[in-house]
Structure 1
Amino acid sequence: MSSILIKIKSKYPQMNDAMKRIADYVLNNPNDVVFEKASTFAEKSNVSPASVSRFVKLVGYKSFNDFQLSFVAAQSRAEINDEDSLAYNGMKVGETTQEICQVIFSRSERVLNETLGILDTETMESIANYIDKAKRIVAIGVGRSKITTQALVSRLYRIGYNIVEYSDSHEIVNITSIMQPGDLLIACSNFGKSKSVVEGARRAKENGVTVVGITSVVDSPLANSADYLLLSAYDYASDKMGKLFEPSSENVAQLVLVDCLYMLVATKHEKENLNRYKRFSKEIVKEHVK
């Protein structure tokens, strides 16, 4: 039994009726917790959203998102049985091509579902508003995180937004030093610890720049430096195994978050942005080989 379930049981006697209904639901459906929004969780427990907030604080978490992520961690740890075997996001990859592909597809699907479960739509909408109004948008990320920032640039620039991407540490120092209020910095780091990205976020924030963080780790240095935060589900299994393996499932989830942002922004000036995209699409066909 995971430590969080043990903690809930230990606090059960001091809970009121509403808290016990929540506890009963969690203890009977521990695998469902990571996929549900707080409102759905409250409805299924037959309590108010306020009771859910009080419950997660009672068992030691700041927010419902933190509470959910603790279940992701517990599930991933439970699946790691042999640290000497090659694994992908906590699951042994198998031997045949079919087994390997099945593991990778299933883990990516799981991370997508977990990311949707912890998605804060209000934060997403706020970030979309900042993107739409920003004088200049800068995206920074190194290593695997470049995949996310490059995807963001490829989406937004084609509908006319002033966005650039940097992945070189010296260039990140340069651009974040000269950013000004009215600019928007979008900083991406899977573990939230990449030095150039975190320091770039802090530097830009000191200059009065609004900072958006995209990461998988709550309370990471990047998360704590950001004004707004988008979380993808954290690959706790990789962390448990000493980060020896780097599955791309986190990046898959972040690419989907980027597409959500892109569509939210595009709908703000739908007719204009649709015309821009049509013009781009028409011209890019000329680059295709016949």
Structure 2
Amino acid sequence: MSILERMQNQRSSLSSNGVKILDFILKDPASLSNYVSQDLAVKVGVSQSGVIKFAQRLGFKGFTALKLAIIEDLAHKNAILEPKRPIHNKIHSDDSSITIAQKLIQEKTHAMIATTNAINFSEFETIVKRLNQADRIQIVGIGGSALTAKDLTFKLLKLGITALTEQDTHVQIATANTLTKNDILIAISFSGKRREIIMAAQSAYDKGATVIALTNIKKSPLRQLAHYTIDTIADEKQFRSSSISSRTAQNVITDLLFMALLQLKSDDAKLLLSDISSVIDRI
């Protein structure tokens, strides 16, 4: 975790003057190199001792130590991430294999942390209970999201849950049209705007089924339609080759759903998983 992220996480424990200093730094951390503690105090409208106490509150000896740590952190980040010729987000055509590996790890890790931090766990527990009680669960997705849908379907089947998935969009819509109020449709779409997914979700909604969306935090037709939404957060803007970070965000949610259901089903699920493994071992 970067120093700036650590500072942001401590926001709730800071004084009102501490929050002022934090907000000023976060607005333009690169400009911090131009300030000494007295200058920053005048700029923010707090005392010089307030600036020093702020740095100490964050675990630094003083403002200079905090400033140097932030500058070093920014320099390290820029050395890895600043774009020259991007071929995927901040990965460039002249990057070495080890640099690409480091950037991918950072991108995927950030997607997982941001996504899990955004979960409303009270609503998540409700979703898990609804999934456990459902007669059938249809999971829809296209492109990279179809891979996530297939993986989640397999995981649910191993728990003894009736789960359905199909890559053909016509079959997806036809299946959704057979759902009832006792069924659930999970729609996986990072954009939340794919017409085929919206049509399947709308069909399930019209039949009284519960619609759960795995999508990004922006407003979208899917988000508006869904009864429940689990946010998937990923840094994918201009260059979305292979949907790398968005699929990572989706997978961390589907893995979490699987583990939560496994915990809920307890011994019965463990026995079923053991039986499946035993059968496969005999192949």
Distance 1:104 1:187 in 2: 26
Distance 1:220 1:160, change over 3 A: same
Distance 1:275 1:30, change over 3 A: farther
1:1-290 matches, cutoff 5 A: 22=19, 24-29=21-26, 81-82=83-84, 85-92=85-92, 94-235=94-235, 238-239=236-237, 241=238, 243=239, 245-287=241-283
Q: How much has 1:81 moved relative to structure 2?
A: 4.7
- Any conservation in 2 of the 1:192–1:217 contact (CA below 8 Å)? no
Distance 1:123 1:22 in 2: 30
> Gaps spanning 5+ residues in structure 2: where?
1-13, 29-53, 55-76
Q: How much has 1:152 moved relative to structure 2?
A: 0.8
Q: How much has 1:166 moved relative to structure 2?
A: 2.0
Q: How much has 1:150 moved relative to structure 2?
A: 0.9
Distance 1:152 1:188 in 2: 11
Distance 1:90 1:120, change over 3 A: farther
Distance 1:280 1:99 in 2: 41
Q: How much has 1:113 moved relative to structure 2?
A: 1.5
- Which residue identity does 2:199 align to in structure 1? E
Q: What is aligned with 1:42?
A: none
Distance 1:233 1:270, change over 3 A: same
> Gaps spanning 5+ residues in structure 1: where?
1-16, 32-44, 46-74
**Identical pairs, percent:** 21
How many residues end up aligned between the 2 structures? 221
Distance 1:184 1:169 in 2: 17
Distance 1:127 1:94, change over 3 A: farther
- Which residue identity does 1:187 align to in structure 2? A
Larger relative contact order (CA 8 Å, sep ≥ 6): 1
Q: How much has 1:216 moved relative to structure 2?
A: 2.1
**TM-score, normalization by structure 2:** 0.70
Distance 1:94 1:30 in 2: 31
Distance 2:92 2:146 in 1: 27
**TM-score, normalization by structure 1:** 0.69
Distance 1:233 1:286, change over 3 A: same
1:173-222 Cα shifts (integer Å, max 9, x gaps): 20111211111000001211111111211221121111000112421221
1:42-79 Cα shifts (integer Å, max 9, x gaps): xxx9xxxxxxxxxxxxxxxxxxxxxxxxxxxxx9xxx6
* Deviates most, 91-100 or 101-110: 91-100
Distance 1:19 1:178 in 2: 56
RMSD (CA atoms): 2.7
* Deviates most, 19-28 or 134-143: 19-28
Distance 2:118 2:111 in 1: 11
* Deviates most, 155-164 or 85-94: 85-94
Distance 2:231 2:93 in 1: 26
Distance 2:202 2:17 in 1: 42
